[in-house]
Structure 1
Amino acid sequence: MPDPSGTAASEALEHALARRFAARYAVSVSSGTAALQTALAAAGIGDGDEVLVPAVTVPMTVAAVVAVRARPVFVDAPPDGFGMDPDDLRAKAGPRTRAILPVHLFGRTDGLDDLLQLAEQLGVLVIEDACQAQGTRTRGRYAGTAGAIGCFSLKDGKILSCGEGGYLLTDDANLAARAAAYRTHYLAPAPGIAPGSRLGHNFRLAQPLAALAHHNLAGFTAGLARRRQQHDRLLDRIAATPGLDVIPPPPGANGYSPLWHVTLRNPRRFAERLARQGVHNSVGTFGLAAAPEQPWSAGLAPHRCPNAATVLDRLLAVVLSVTHTDDNLDTIANTIDREARAWR
């Protein structure tokens, strides 16, 4: 018989996700952005609170913080890499700081161990944006399970996808219950919150999408191996290309996107040139730049983050897809090599 609550597919997916990624609880939601907003709300973050966010991030992360009426505080990158610079983080933490929100762009968890230690010293939560880091492991733990709660996307292009959707992972029963209540207008009970006593959202994952995600989860191991193979193939094919210095992935990374420092003149224009030639990349195609430099951050009174600006202005991050065949990857490699040599 059909489940009268209409949530059988979501519940099956959640049990499978928790098992697969070694978490106690999973909560499915309608998107990765919804996962972030739900996590913040479940943690009680709201008016007047501050959340430390890396300057190397995407607008969706910031939008979730603003949606719960908290203030994002941008933390600069380290001088020689990604993540959040510990010294800048300490300087920007204050009495209103409630959480650190690392963003594992490109499947990397740079500096996560340091952030966990800093969060413990500051007495704040770590909420991980692991939307691009499905399958990445750091010291034996999956990305998204090291902090209090981890947030993921199921949008097309992710290693596990169903077209649109998201989920959260946590070991905290209270956070899981509050997240489940928030995603359905607080109609579900949660510790200390009476049903219907607060305003929430309709962030439920549609049941056909939940069923599709559950089906696709069975192929996740193979998909993860394929993404790493794609990543390594592209690096190998342009290893001798002038003007591109490989940024090697840390151990355990999922290979979400291969990265290079561009040493050619006008590297951002070079990335834009590649995008016009069909090589989709984060900087040239999507305009990725340090958050304080983005027009959408103007009303947030951000401090400049020069290290993040420098890293992203010199970055080539090629967007990979499950649909890319080896021939497609070789065409991408040939295009990058040709354009780099011509640019010089």
Structure 2
Amino acid sequence: MTSTALQSPPAAPLVLRRCRDLVAPALAEAIGGLHPWVAEMAGYALGRCEIGGAPATHSQGKGVRQALAVLGAEAAGGSGEAGVPGAVAVELVHTFSLLHDDIMDGDALRRGRPALWKAYGTGPAVLAGDALFALAVETLAAGPATAHAAAAVRHLTTALRDLVRGQADDLLFADRPWTGPEAVGVGEYEAMAEHKTGALLGCALALGAQLAGAPRETAIALDRAGRHLGVAFQIADDLLGIWGDPAITGKPVHGDLRQGKKTLPVLVALNAPGHPALAGLLASPADLDDSGVRKAAALVERAGGRAGALREARRHLAAADALLATASLAPRPAEELRSLLSSLAHRTI
């Protein structure tokens, strides 16, 4: 995305690195308990190894959800270590969801290299995703049987239900028309994004706080903040899916337009006056060759789709920040959270 995207403060790479380093041993231990072949696929999906198990030679990802869980625990007045089980659980769930998303969407690349289903096959990738799903719940449930731990398990399962709901809506959107009474509305889209992306980000923050013994109202505020962040995060992903640099996204430019995905910039543009040319182009997949997708991207931008999506992302970031301000949080980790949340939506960290 260009510099005209979300103008937010620089991310806190040191915070992300600190949290990844804190969580890494527990994450490695959890994966190590899987069947060796499944463990290798899990390691590949997490960026820890290459095909065959050789050590990875590229980035292992930012570890955003890990950091949110650790910072959630610290912001609630606990230690970062208290949030580690939650961090492992949400990282495993996130990776599981990506494995299955890539299969459902037919995406051949993930972080600039073959997606797991391309590297190992569709069946093995489904199996690895199932294993990560089960391992996430087991990791969280295996802790001490306290009231806070029980609440954390319930929170994770609720987030999983919402994630599936959001993914179902996203898949169903593909069969709905671009215009007319059955078209996908902006409100429907944002509800989908909250479930598909926001539920797990909110869960990460809330799990850390719950495992650190935070009051219920604090966990609720953090969950809501993470859900708003998730909508902004998904909008930024939509913008990258149309105008992103493949060196950042690891995917071809204009990929979402080629696939006919119902993304927010396009939906905003279709609600603007003078969109018939765009609607006609989108309704004819055969016209979406290299020239067609460039034309579609230009029409979306001209109709205000890019600017409108950015406004919505900023609105959700402001809502997340307001929720953090109302919660009773420890000052230093709260400030780290604000900086991290602000940086995440424009996806350049």
Q: Which category describes the TM-score, using the shorter chain as reference length?
A: under 0.3
Greater helix share, structure number: 2
TM-score, normalised with respect to structure 2: 0.24
Q: TM-score, normalised by structure 1?
A: 0.25
Which gives a bigger RCO, structure 1 or 2 (Cα 8 Å, sep 6+)? 2
